[in-house]
Structure 1
Amino acid sequence: MLDPVLARIDADLPHAIQRLLALLRIPSISTDRVHAPDCEVAADWLVQDLIDMGFKAAKHPTSGRPMVVGQGGQGDRHLLFYGHYDVQPVDPLNLWDKPPFVPEVQDTPQGRVIRGRGASDDKGQLMTFVEACRAWIAVHHRLPARVTVFFEGEEESGSPSLVPFMEANKDLLTADLALICDTDLFDRDTPAITTMLRGLVGEEVVITGPRMDLHSGMYGGAAINPIRVLSRILSTLHDENGRVTVPGFYDGVEELTPELRAQWDALGFDESQFLGDVGLSVPAGERGRGVLESIWARPTCEINGISGGYAGDGFKTVLPSKATAKVSFRLVGQQDPLRIRESFRTMVRAMVPADCTVEFRDHGASRASVMSTANPAFEKARAALSDEWPRPAAFTGSGGSIPVAGHFKTILGMDSMLIGFAQEDDLIHSPNEKYDVRSFHKGIRSWARILAALS
């Protein structure tokens, strides 16, 4: 049953590219109210495309941008596919070689690419699954499993409507397994199934001392300096081995299994090149941990910004009234973000001296997502991907956070399988975003294989 579907995908690729170009022409920027009508247009386009294929599909209004839900196929196996049709703003516009919403196929030294905002993040990725479904229906007049597609229009603006919509539509969305296409290949020839996503805690710390900025000549040595206090606090967040010192921070952190460590070692990841590409040479995380393990499977504490006093041109001898730092924690395993937040705040409060006060500002908290590869579906999908690409697929981690995977687990009670075909040079969120035609083509073929394997 699969071979004629793959042949159909190959023959239909020029038309699939044209359909993607049509979707890319819609400037569905969710963060800009001016483009709210364009998000409606993009949602309508997807609804109609799904209906034309044979899905039962509808646009669902929210307090923000609409959701699109389509249902098709039959069978005991029920799969939910998630993607997002909204895109990042295009600024700075002057750095684009071509208008961002006039997409085109270009020949480059690395091969043919589809250039335009949203080509990789996430319209091109979303359409790989849609086109795989189209091919199955065209050849067999049905899908090999029951499929629900769920397209969001606010992923690039924090997904404010996502959780309320999911909570209100559990019956509509709950399936056996969620499929998400918003991630990368490991390298050009190695597909990946992301099974670990780090969680996140964001904290802003404000230390206040004197009620106004002071002249450092008149008050220096006598008055407390909030920058000095804050610097001392921040300097204690890591020990000499790079471990985070917040009490209880490592509760819930698990070691890699030997099987997963062996799989990561077999990827041939070049730590020197990874660091060298950004002008660095020495790993700076926990001593004794490799770079891949550090960014995929270990928690971190990072200082993302510091402000206070005078930082403009020239010099100003001032003792500031306030000093501020923004600190983020990336979480893994079963770490509890709320416990870590409170432990961090307790630690900071204990280090604030007399004549200073501390204020904390909450910038979000989410748990890590860890998918159980013991579920047979994961190995079936890995084998299907391996059949399509030059190198075997790998179970990988991600240093970032994709909150929807956690929401699928906590709200709908199902695991997520994150499979994407983006390249690290796709320039997502940047000018001149692109998606390789090879990624688009083999991505469609990959989903066709996965649908067959999981059904």
Structure 2
Amino acid sequence: MAALSKADLDRVLATVDTDLDASIERLFAFLHIPSISTDRAYAAECRRAGQWLADDLASLGLTAKLNDTPGHPIVTGTSAGAAARRVMFYGHYDVQPVDPLELWDSPPFEPRIVENADGVKRIVARGSSDDKGQVMTFVEACRAYLRTVGRLPVEVAIVVEGEEESGSAHIGPFLEAHKEALKADLALVCDTGMWDANTPAIILSLRGLMHDEFVVRAADRDLHSGYYGGAAANPLHVISKIIGGVHGPDGRITIPGFYDGVVEPPEHVKRSWSELDLTAENFLGPIGLSEPIGEKDRLLIEMVSTRPTFEVNGMWGGYTGEGAKTVIPSIATAKITCRLVADQDPAHVRDCVRAYIRSKLPADCTVEFLSGEGNPAVAVAHDNPLLAKAAAALGEEWGTPAVTYGEGGSIPVVGQFKKVLGQDTLLVGFALDDDRIHSPNEKYDLTSFHKGIRSWVRILAALAE
């Protein structure tokens, strides 16, 4: 297939611009559908949203299908023809619940464009940023290609699920069942954000996760703290002491074997991170904090993206009601999560954490573990040539070099792309930190939507080279 010319690329970009109003209308039709996946009362609406998207993909000439699962359906769309490279695009059409409804300035499923005092126009609706608006940036880029030059520069397989906001229970089995049909040179995900309003970003890595819950037991019943205090073991004290010893004075995690599999990023990458100006003041200041508590010899961006963590999510036991009850509890419980990086194995980390907790138990105390589930981190090699192509395309569109860095959160499906399909993933998104995803008055800047479409046009052209 002949390569796309510069003139053809310019024509496609012009189509994006002239068709913007119609693109917004299509997005609004998508946003009108209350596809809340976690609430079974909205099951029919989730199906309606999936069908709307499948119909839209079919209108482009793609082979589109609404694939049933034991939960909400998965939409697929594939292009015809043969190209030198094939990509798979992933997103989700389901959205978060809208509660508390009274905090919305307008009905959450009645999208509108709001112009703020700063002159920035924003699309306000549930799902505008997470993830319907982002999904449609890619769909509209494909539409512009097919309407203008009659073909896509690369083969495309689109997968959009309806359960991302409720656990993605059925995407894994779906990938297994369709792995031959979905195999591609690269997976593309549009469910992340920009570095800032003017700087595009590609996420190179996502931290994995191991979560566990443990119960410490001591006496065979709650005890009178006056009669037994000072002599009997208190499970809350035991857990507090164990947790208190997890981090050393330098911020490092003291659990033996915890850092197995952690690797250092290349020095040139760390130098580029140091130039991003992510400071305690601009990162922690807005949430009322001032000092990072991570490893002392690390950049702040490393602490929140490429270094592993150990966090206590909850700890309880004894009496927690109103007033006093002078007891020494017989049982205490803690929930923990560990964010994982690089080649850390969740099962190995779980075993190391459990061995550490057991080693710190005093006499007469026992421990029971209740969870221990997890998923590994995922990463794209810094020297991946397709990464360089996509970054250059983003730089051309936004007029500033794309930032490449790791994100601290976890998107388990990306790990499944690697494990099941053998595909690396580029996470390219156009959301902003102030988009209020999962919150009332969710929004997506009109510029994010417009230039997001143009960005995918450029990326697809670059990947075809």
Shift of 1:221: 2.2
Alpha-carbon distance in structure 2 between the residues aligned to 1:300 and 1:193: 23
Alignment of 1:3-14 (within 5 A): 3-14=10-21
1:439 to 431, 448, 460: 448
1:209-235, CA deviations, whole angstroms, 9 ceiling, x for partnerless residues? 223222211222232211011111111
State the 4+ residue runs in structure 1 displaced beyond 6 angstroms: none
Mean Cα displacement is larger for which, 158-167 or 259-268? 259-268
> SS of the residue aligned with 1:450?
helix
Alpha-carbon distance in structure 2 between the residues aligned to 1:354 and 1:261: 46
Shift of 1:325: 1.1
Shift of 1:316: 1.8
Shift of 1:172: 1.6
1:122 corresponds to which residue?
131
> SS of the residue aligned with 1:193?
strand
Alpha-carbon distance in structure 2 between the residues aligned to 1:211 and 1:41: 55
Shift of 1:413: 0.4
Unmatched tracts of structure 2, length 5 or more: 1-7
> SS of the residue aligned with 1:28?
coil
Alpha-carbon distance in structure 1 between the residues aligned to 2:265 and 2:155: 34
Q: Is the 8 A contact 2:280 2:291 kept in 1?
A: no
2:55 corresponds to which residue?
48
Q: Is the 8 A contact 1:73 1:145 kept in 2?
A: no
1:91 corresponds to which residue?
99
Alignment of 1:269-418 (within 5 A): 269-362=278-371, 364-418=373-427
The amino acid that maps onto 2:153 is P
> SS of the residue aligned with 2:137?
helix
Q: Is the 8 A contact 1:120 1:434 kept in 2?
A: yes
1:19 corresponds to which residue?
26
The amino acid that maps onto 1:20 is L
> SS of the residue aligned with 2:198?
coil
2:275 to 266, 277, 280: 266
User: Could you say if the C-alpha distance between residues 211 and 129 of structure 1 is closer, same or farther in structure 2, counting changes exceeding 3 Å?
Assistant: same
Q: Is the 8 A contact 2:104 2:440 kept in 1?
A: yes
Alpha-carbon distance in structure 2 between the residues aligned to 1:361 and 1:143: 50
Alpha-carbon distance in structure 2 between the residues aligned to 1:129 and 1:277: 32
> SS of the residue aligned with 1:300?
coil
Alpha-carbon distance in structure 1 between the residues aligned to 2:310 and 2:125: 35
Q: Is the 8 A contact 2:37 2:96 kept in 1?
A: yes
2:263 corresponds to which residue?
254
Alpha-carbon distance in structure 1 between the residues aligned to 2:125 and 2:423: 34
2:230 corresponds to which residue?
221
Q: Is the 8 A contact 1:120 1:428 kept in 2?
A: yes
Alpha-carbon distance in structure 2 between the residues aligned to 1:129 and 1:196: 21
The amino acid that maps onto 1:49 is D
Shift of 1:73: 4.1
Shift of 1:93: 1.3
Shift of 1:265: 2.3
Alignment of 1:233-248 (within 5 A): 233-248=242-257
1:192 to 194, 201, 219: 201
Shift of 1:356: 1.8
The amino acid that maps onto 2:110 is V
2:3 corresponds to which residue?
none
The amino acid that maps onto 1:315 is A
Whether 1:29 and 2:32 are equivalent positions in the alignment is no
Alpha-carbon distance in structure 2 between the residues aligned to 1:61 and 1:51: 17
> SS of the residue aligned with 2:19?
helix
Mean Cα displacement is larger for which, 64-73 or 352-361? 352-361
The amino acid that maps onto 2:446 is V
1:153-192, CA deviations, whole angstroms, 9 ceiling, x for partnerless residues? 1001111101111111111211110000000100111101
Alpha-carbon distance in structure 2 between the residues aligned to 1:332 and 1:422: 24
1:140 to 149, 152, 171: 149
Q: Is the 8 A contact 2:274 2:299 kept in 1?
A: no
1:72 corresponds to which residue?
79
> SS of the residue aligned with 2:310?
strand
2:67 corresponds to which residue?
60
> SS of the residue aligned with 1:204?
strand
Alpha-carbon distance in structure 2 between the residues aligned to 1:273 and 1:187: 12
Mean Cα displacement is larger for which, 405-414 or 373-382? 373-382
The amino acid that maps onto 2:91 is G
Q: Is the 8 A contact 1:73 1:143 kept in 2?
A: no
The amino acid that maps onto 1:173 is L
The amino acid that maps onto 1:19 is R
Alpha-carbon distance in structure 2 between the residues aligned to 1:95 and 1:278: 20
> SS of the residue aligned with 2:287?
coil
The amino acid that maps onto 1:351 is K
Unmatched tracts of structure 1, length 5 or more: none
TM-score, length basis structure 2: 0.96
Q: Is the 8 A contact 1:25 1:101 kept in 2?
A: yes
Aligned residues: 455
Q: Is the 8 A contact 2:279 2:300 kept in 1?
A: no
Q: Is the 8 A contact 1:271 1:291 kept in 2?
A: yes
Whether 1:82 and 2:83 are equivalent positions in the alignment is no
Alpha-carbon distance in structure 1 between the residues aligned to 2:117 and 2:295: 39
Q: Is the 8 A contact 1:73 1:144 kept in 2?
A: no
Q: Is the 8 A contact 2:215 2:334 kept in 1?
A: yes
